[in-house]
Amino acid sequence: MKKGELVFIPLPAAGHIVSSLEIAKRLVTQDNRLSISILIIKMPNLNPPTTQSLLTSISGVERINFIEISEQHTNNKLDSNPTNTIKSMTSFLESIKPQVQEAINNLVNCFSNQPSSPKLAGLVIDMFFTTMIDVADEFGIPSYVFYTSGAGILKLMAHLETLSTEHNKDVTKYKDEQDEELVIQGFVNPIPVKVFPKMVFDKVSCPLFLSQYTNMRRAKGILVNSFIELESTIIDLFPPIYSVGPIINASPNQREKENESVMTWLDKQPRSSVVFLCFGSMGSFSEEQVKEIAIGLEQSGVRFLWSLRKKGQSLKSEDYTDFNEVLPREFFNRTAEIGKVIGWASQVNILGHSSIGGFVSHCGWNSILESLWFGVPIATWPLYAEQKVNAFVVVKELELAVEIKLDYMMSGEDGMMIVKGDEIEVGIRKLMEPNNNVIRERVKEISEKGKKALLED
């Protein structure tokens, strides 16, 4: 019986590593001839989960191994400005490529000394690490791109890459055409330029970003974290593409001590009565915006659980020491019977609770899949990266969400955008409206289809 070894190279950010680990677990469970090594690259500012925590998460799953790339090779700092992140990441990855080659070569040498060892079968490369396709070519093995976002942003970026490389269009000029819309095959609605990722408009970052999509054409295939029933029209347009989703950690963890009070509070709330606000590991707002969110929540009268965090020292957000730093004590007094403000939250545990009836989300793709898995409708408030496109897809294309904003900008030439409390109130009321049966039924239907897709793999 021939054995094969895959090497995964994920972006060392929590969402990407978790998705890579989940698909790795599924693969080795389905084929006992397969083993997987996951390279953990310690990239400055991103702070991936520790190897020990990853080992704990695969307890009981055999044939998955972790290989750390030494920190001494990772001295370049990533730019904390999201627009420049792709530039510094590209430079960093080129510098780390020899160490990746060395790690894989050591693996091959280890196999050659053991007759019963598996044969290196291929690399599975993160969507931002397509330069590593060169490494696969040097070893004479196929490469696959693991696309941790949805098919919508993949189709849009591939379209822009084609405009750039085959039609010599400077797509950064769309920056001055914010009221324009693009008609793209596979989408039901024209896509507004104003929902494009910000780095598309940057003269330096855009070519580097689009080069990822040029490189993807060299891969043996693209594994997209989606499923046919969710994005059928878009996925059908992409050979060779494999819809492998929904890839999420759908099993809530045991109730951690730090979240016990949160879960106890939720236990006391009526079924589907609470709106949960959570904006991801990098989500934070200005003090002015936080106050507007508070106004919107209070005016809505809806029960709420709000994960409120502030900007941290690196790319991640961090907890407040005291929420009174940013919110008046009177707010807590007035909402004591209906609301709870918390710091970091175990999102899967909370979304899986029966009292949650709606989710105000930054629309990271993992968050969307988790919310759909648990049958919880979304109100969109995208913050950065591809999240505006994700929001457009779930609101306009799939009709699985309501809109608070589709085109929010954390910062811009005119300063930070402020969403007023009245607008937030309207979005929350619409999300939690008891008679909003169309979206709730759609979400329930997609939830069931997503679970069925996972069982059929």
Q: How far is CA 445 from CA 23, 106, 172, 372, in A?
A: 24, 47, 39, 9
Name 412's Cβ contacts closer than 8 Å, sequence gap at least 6. Answer: none
Which of 206, 167, 162, 159 has the alpha carbon at shortest distance from 184? 159
DSSP symbols for 97-151? HHHHHHHHHHHHHHHHT-TTSPEEEEEEEETT-GGGHHHHHHHT--EEEEE-S-H
- Residue 83 one-letter amino acid: T
110-to-100, 106, 114, 119, 120 alpha-carbon distances in Å? 15, 6, 7, 11, 11
Catalytic residue (choose from 16, 159, 353, 362): 16
CA 318/CA 135 separation, integer angstroms: 36
Which among 31, 79, 126, 159 is annotated as catalytic?
A: 126
Establish whether 167 is a catalytic residue.
no
Q: If DSSP codes are grouped into helix, strand and coil, which group holds residue 63?
A: coil
Asked if 169 and 243 touch (Cβ cutoff 8 Å), the reply is no
392 close to 416: Cβ distance less than 8 angstroms:
no
16 catalytically annotated = yes
Q: Which residues belong to the active site?
A: 16, 126
